[in-house]
Amino acid sequence: MASSRRIKELLGLLRQKLYDEVDRVSRTVVSVFNEKVLSLGQEDLWRLIDGITGGLGYTAEDRDVTRLIIYGSYIAWVEAVKPGSRVLEIGTGLGRTCYSVLSTALPSLYLTIDSSPEILAIALYRNPYPLFQEALWNPVVKLCLCDAAIAVRHMNDFFDHIIHDGGPNPNKNPALFSRTFLSDLVSLLKAGGTLSVFGGKNRKWQDRLYRELKALDLSVSSEPLPYSPVIVFHCIKR
What's the CATH code of the domain at 92? 3.40.50.150
Secondary element (H or E) of residue 60? none
| DSSP class of 171 | T
Q: How many domains does the chain have?
A: 1
Dist CA 212 CA 88 (whole Å): 20
Residue 48, domain extent: 4-237
CB 128 within 8 A of CB 154: no
- What is this structure's pTM? 0.94
pLDDT in tens, 86-126: 999 999 999 999 999 999 999 999 999 999 999 999 999 99
pLDDT in tens, 189-198: 999 999 999 9
pLDDT in tens, 121-149: 999 999 999 999 999 999 999 999 999 99
Dist CA 98 CA 207 (whole Å): 27
